[in-house]
Structure 1
Amino acid sequence: MSISDLYSSGQHKQAVGHFASVVKIAITDGIIEEGEQKLLDKTAKILEIGEEEYKAILKNPDKYPVNAPVSYDERIERLYRLAKMILADNNVSKEEMALMRKISIALNFPVDNAEKVCDEAIHLIMNDNDLDSFTDAIKKVNAV
């Protein structure tokens, strides 16, 4: 196995873990709403999740660990997708926020700042910030 195969495989595991996190947010209330379904489909395509993997992850998302990327910007992008999923059904529940905080900590955001980062992430998505604006704002909120 070549080094590029290993790198590719590692990236795919990260993508699968991230998709599973997005699925967990979508199913928190027990129902995948139409907006959530559209976002799941779009996210699966972006992350190159195949149909069989998609079905397996939907069936048991807890089976897949988060596998945080090393890049800070990639971790922020994952937070962006999670926040978008929370708001896909135009409803933010306590359970979704609690799960988002756990996932943000797994993405290596500081434990003592996770609530602030997640609250800001939701606020930014509610105000239709794009990824670049979102990234800049999260970096300011997360500055230590």
Structure 2
Amino acid sequence: MSFKNLFQSYEHSRNLSHFAALVRIAAVDNELNEQEMARLDRFASKLGIHESEQKAVLKDPALYPINPPNSHEVRLQLLHDMFSIIFADNQIDEDEHHLLVRYATGLGFSDEQAEKYIKRSIQIYTGGLDFEDYQYLVEK
């Protein structure tokens, strides 16, 4: 197997595990609503997950362990994807919050970093920004 194929295989494996984590978060309330399924379909396409793989993951997402990236930026992107799924219904519940913490630490964030990024992301997604933060994000 060439280096390029090996890298592509690793990247696909990481994408599958990320998709499975998205499914676990979306199904934390034991059901997937239309908005969550629509987002999962978009993520599957974005991540290069084939339809047969998507069905297998939806059937049993626990078979796909978290495969943490080395890059801080990629970790943040994956965490952002999680928030996109969680806020498909415009709310976050206690179970989702708990899974987010586990996922963030599984991605390689320390417990302290995970709590910081999750707290900040919830403020961003719920519109709980103060003016200085809003200004920074708008003008960035």
Question: Which TM-score applies when normalising by structure 2?
Answer: 0.87
1:18-54 CA distance string (max 9 Å, x none): 0011000100001111111111011000000000000
Distance 1:30 1:91 in 2: 16
When Rg is computed on C-alpha atoms for both structures, the one with the higher figure is 2
Correspondence for 1:91? 91
Distance 1:8 1:126 in 2: 36
Deviation at 1:122, TM superposition (A): 2.1
Q: What pairs up with 1:27-46 in 2 under 5 angstroms?
A: 27-46=27-46
The answer to whether the 8 A contact 1:69-1:75 is kept is yes
Distance 1:21 1:86 in 2: 11
Distance 2:125 2:13 in 1: 26
Correspondence for 1:7? 7
Deviation at 1:112, TM superposition (A): 2.5
Question: Which TM-score applies when normalising by structure 1?
Answer: 0.85
Deviates more, 1:105-114 or 1:1-10: 105-114
1:51-71 CA distance string (max 9 Å, x none): 000000001111101101111
Q: Does 1:113 align with 2:121?
A: no
Q: What pairs up with 1:22-101 in 2 under 5 angstroms?
A: 22-101=22-101
Q: Secondary structure at the match of 1:92?
A: coil
Q: Which runs of 5+ in 2 are unaligned?
A: 128-132
Distance 2:30 2:49 in 1: 22
- CA RMSD in angstroms comes to 1.9
For these two proteins, the number of residue pairs brought into alignment is 131
Correspondence for 1:18? 18
